Structure 1
Amino acid sequence: MECKFKTENSNITIMMEFVLLGFSDIPNLQWILFGMFLVIYLSILMSNSIIILITKIDSALQTPMYFFLNNFSFLEICYVTVTIPRMLMDLLTQKGNISFLACATQMCFVLMLGGSECLLLTAMAYDRYVAICDPLRYPLVMNHKVCVHLVAASWISGVPAVIGQTCQIFSLPFCGSNRINHFFCDIPPILKLACGDTFVNEIAVYVAAVVFTMVPFLLIIVSYGKIISNILKLSSVRGRAKAFSTCSSHLIVVVLFYGTATITYLQPKPNQCERIGKLMSLFYTVLTPTLNPIIYTLRNKDIMVALRKRLSY
């Protein structure tokens, strides 16, 4: 595969194009992977679209919890669309060429949507905290205006930081190999290709990871600590079971997403194992979005009832 560079008069070689290696190390499985990821992508689109539709049209689901779930499902569709279609195209064509600008754009959207997911999961945890720990004030505290503000903040809060970080990373000199051992443009493999000093970039990645993953994660843990404490105080066994059922779905999603994302972005240095990094990325970009609709529907009686009601028409 031919590498494309641009050489200026000063004899400095500037990278014009990258090559995503993806899963080229297992050539015999390319078509199997293509079929598998295509089915996964279509199932993510369909299942999340069903959740969006059912939470919009069913009157019993017009509550803050399902308003957040509706937005979360839409976010998941956007999140996987940034990575999987490109990966499918590379598997189909057996080429991974991606322009410098397209690579930067993909990284920017992956980070932006990933940060939004972290913040939206935190808002969902806060919603459950108020619902269980302060039920009398719940309608007042979690009114529609507050919910809209929380969702809007989740979507836009990280935009300036992500754009700044992406510009900072892609302003580095890339004068060596242009082969990215990954299936999308992610921070760790891109930093490996930089031939300049990446110390400032690594610090920026750590700071962003702490702000957008660790801080929200700690807030979620504190919220659920208080939630579990309150649930255990409930006298009704049925009430405890219902509260645990409602919260456990969200907690499972949080553990799956935060666990893999934290491992990836809290060790962005070039010595990160490439295969482990790729596997971790598959977890939070493909596997978790695939499992989320299943977790939220199969473990949620309200959505299952609404689905049965619509299917019975």
Structure 2
Amino acid sequence: TRLSRSTSLNNISNISVKDNQNYKLDCHDNIGNCHEQSSVPSKEGSAVIGKAEMLQMRRWMVKMVEELKIKRRVVLEAEMRAEALAEQLHTTQIHKDSELEEAKQREEKLEHSLARLRQQCEDRLKACEVEKIQQQVYKESNIHVQEKSRNEIRQLKTQLRQKEKQTCELEAQLQTEKTASAKLLSQWREAEGKLAELGQLYQACEGSITRLEESVVLACAANRRLSHKQEQHATAMLEKVRQINDLEAELVKARVQISELAVEAVKMDGAEARVAALNATVLQLKQENKRLEEQMEQEWQRRK
């Protein structure tokens, strides 16, 4: 899924850059042809434009309208792809939130289990101490057995202290993972805000392009009615083309920001791996504690 998202974003950027370059070249060629045609004087006089020039100007204006329609279609396709990407990001965020909630629940269960194990270990240590006193009272003659029991109890206490130390380290790691999860959650919220801003930017660009198309249609109608205002319309068209180029540059920036959001989505995988490793370590510690309890129980039965 991450590979398909990255590929689609790269395709969007490549298509947009190529379309912008081709569109700018066509606009410059058409504007150059318009200036060349307007600079050549007609046979009937410099103040009147010939029918052939008017026909050529109409064809050029029709071509410009077609190109604007093509660009509008490209922008709509890009907007559809951006909406699809937004849906994917929303779905991914919901999935990550559920996983974070499950991780929190597992952490709470592990904390309760660790507290219960600690209490059981303390109880067993007290029981071992009581047993030690009883052995000293009832078996004062058997010094060798008593010394051996003491050594075993010391070893068990040492192992328990080591397990408690490992438990403290795991608790510190859990706290670190909680902090990292909170940081990632804040990053996702920032990504949501950026995505909303990009949606507003797309809507503004669409409205601007619609207004520019309407302005071009009005300019074509005015050019057919008033031939003496040709230079004014040409200047207005140049300004409209410049505005379209600026809007397309803003669209390219918006696509780059969407690509950055996709890169931020990849960072969530590292946190999942760390949480899985931490859960495996906690499970191993529980198994070792269980084994230690069994050893202590066997020692207790043997001494009885």
TM-score (norm 2): 0.35
Identify the structure with bigger relative contact order (alpha carbons < 8 Å, sequence gap 6+).
Answer: 2
Larger Rg: 2
Scaled by the length of structure 1, the TM-score of the pair is 0.34
- Bigger proportion of residues as strand: 1
